[in-house]
Amino acid sequence: MREEFAKGSVGISKTSHALLVSLVYNPDDVSEDRPFESIVEAFRFAFALGYSQGKSNDKTSRTVTVAPRQFVVTEYVEILRNELIDSKKSLGGLISEYAEGGCDLISDAKSSQISVLSLLE
């Protein structure tokens, strides 16, 4: 039997959006810790980081959406399937929660002057 899931949409808080924007490469300031080419890349990293660390944050004030054509939520169904069944949340909502959790971890690292990419270690 195939489970049906609400796709939902991905979004983040304004604070997390500003953080992700600050991680996008800027040719005018190559000295900064800006390892990503786009906000979608930074969002994927935040999601993967939050997911791998089991850190999620259910911010209800998600006011900035992430490009749905560039971040296809259905590509993440398999890794989130069991959690989707248990939580009854939408796929986009669950992804957003992990991305928020990842943003919290990134923010903590930046506050401690730790390189963003060192979070992969």
Q: How confident is the model over 38-79, as pLDDT tens digits?
A: 999 999 999 999 999 999 998 767 678 887 788 889 999 999
Q: What is the pLDDT of residue 121?
A: 78
Residue 1 predicted with pLDDT over 80: no
Closest CA to 108 of 61, 53, 60, 70: 53
Long-range pairs of 22-28 with CB within 8 A, sequence gap ≥ 24: 23/106, 23/116
Beta bridge partners of 11: 65
Give the mean model confidence (pLDDT) for residues 85-94. 90
Instruction: State pTM to two decimals.
Output: 0.91
Domain ranges for the chain, please list them.
11-114
The CA-atom distances, in angstroms, between 117 and each of 7, 22, 36, 54 are 29, 14, 10, 18
